[in-house]
Amino acid sequence: MSHYPALRLRRTRASAWSRRLHAETVLTPADLIWPLFVSEGADEEPIASLPGVSRWSIANIVARTREARDLGIPCIALFPNTPAHLRSDDGAEAFNRDNLMCRAVKAIKDAVPEVGVLTDVALDPYTSHGHDGLVDAAGYVLNDATADVLVRQALVQAEAGADIVAPSDMMDGRIGLIREGLEGAGHGNVQIMSYAAKYASGFYGPFRDAVGSRGLLKGDKKTYQMDPANAEEAIREVALDIAEGADSVMVKPGLPYLDIIVRVKAEFGVPVFAYQVSGEYAMIEAAAAAGAGDRDALVLETLMAFKRAGCSGVLTYHAAHAARLLGA
C-alpha cells in the first residue's frame, strides 16, 4: 500500500515546541548593536523623521547604555550631532580630543565598561558641507587627504576608550592606514569594523536629520559610496578591507542588500554585520502606525532575515525594543 506523502514537512511545524526545536536560525539580544545619537543640547531631543528615536545628552547616553546592558545588548554605536559653530570645511572637530564624541565615549566607559562602544569614523558630522571627507574646489571628495584625517579621528576615539572604530566614509585604503595608526599608538586591541559595502542609498535621510547634515550636503555621495547596481564590486571592496586588517565588515543598508550579505559570508567566512538603516526603521514605524503590519512581528522578522543571511549581528534602532521582545 502506497502512502502519500511519505514525508510531510508540516509535521515539525504542528506545535510551538517543535517549531522551536527545529529552528535553523536563532536571534538573541546578543546579536544586536544599538545606534545612539549624542547631542550637546537638552536631555532628550526627539527626531521627527525617526519616531521613537531621540538625540541624548551625555548623561542620558550613559543611561541608555545601562539600559542596553540590562537588556543583554552587548554593544552600542555612537553618532554625534555636532553644533553648527564647530563644523568646518576641514572637519577639524573630528580629531579634537575633547569633542562631543570623545567625551561621550569616556563617560560611557567610566560608567558602563562592560558594554562595547563602537564609534563612527567619517567626517560628515563635522564638515560644513556634509560630505564624509575633504573636498576640492570642484566639490570632489579627496581620498588620500581624507584618509589621513580619518586616522587622526580614529586615534582620538581609541584614546577616549572606543572598543571598535567603524570607518563609514568609503575612502580607498583607509583601513590599512587606520590599522597601522592604531598599532603604532598602542591600541592593538581596538577592533575595526569596516563599512566595506556601503551603498549610495535613498534610505539614509532620517539619519542625516539626526546628525544634522541633511540640509548641509552639497551634491551627493555617489563618487565614493557604492552604486546599488553593483554586487561584484562589493566583493572586491570587502576583500581589500580584510586584507588591510578589518576585523569585521558591514553591509549597508540592510534588507535591500541581503544578497550581498549572503555572498560576503560565503566568500570570506568573516564576521559580517548589517546596518538596518534609518529609512528601514522609519518604514517599519510608518507601516505599524498605518495599521499595515504588526510592529513586533515586522521587527523580529526583519532582524531574523539578517541572521539567516549570515550576519553575526545587526545595527538597528529597534535594538532595545527587539531585546525586550526576545527576553519576554
Contact 322, 303 (CB under 8 A): yes
Q: Which residue of the set 198, 221, 265, 307 is catalytic?
A: 198
Q: Is 252 a catalytic residue?
A: yes
Q: Which residue of the set 106, 109, 221, 252 is catalytic?
A: 252
Contact 258, 281 (CB under 8 A): no
Helix (H, G, I), strand (E, B) or coil at 100: helix
Q: Is 307 a catalytic residue?
A: no
Cα dihedral 18, 22, 25, 28 in deg (nearest 10): 40
- 267 vs 248: CA distance, rounded Å: 14
Contact 203, 278 (CB under 8 A): yes
- 196 vs 237: CA distance, rounded Å: 6
Three cell numbers written together for 11: 509535521
Q: What is the DSSP letter of 293?
A: S
- 48 vs 299: CA distance, rounded Å: 20
Q: In the Cβ-directed half-sphere of 76, how many Cα atoms lie within 13 Å?
A: 26
Three cell numbers written together for 287: 507601516
Residue 252's closest CA among 225, 218, 220, 215? Answer: 225
- Can you name the residues that pair with 80 across neighbouring β-strands? 38
The residues annotated with a catalytic role in the active site are: 198, 252
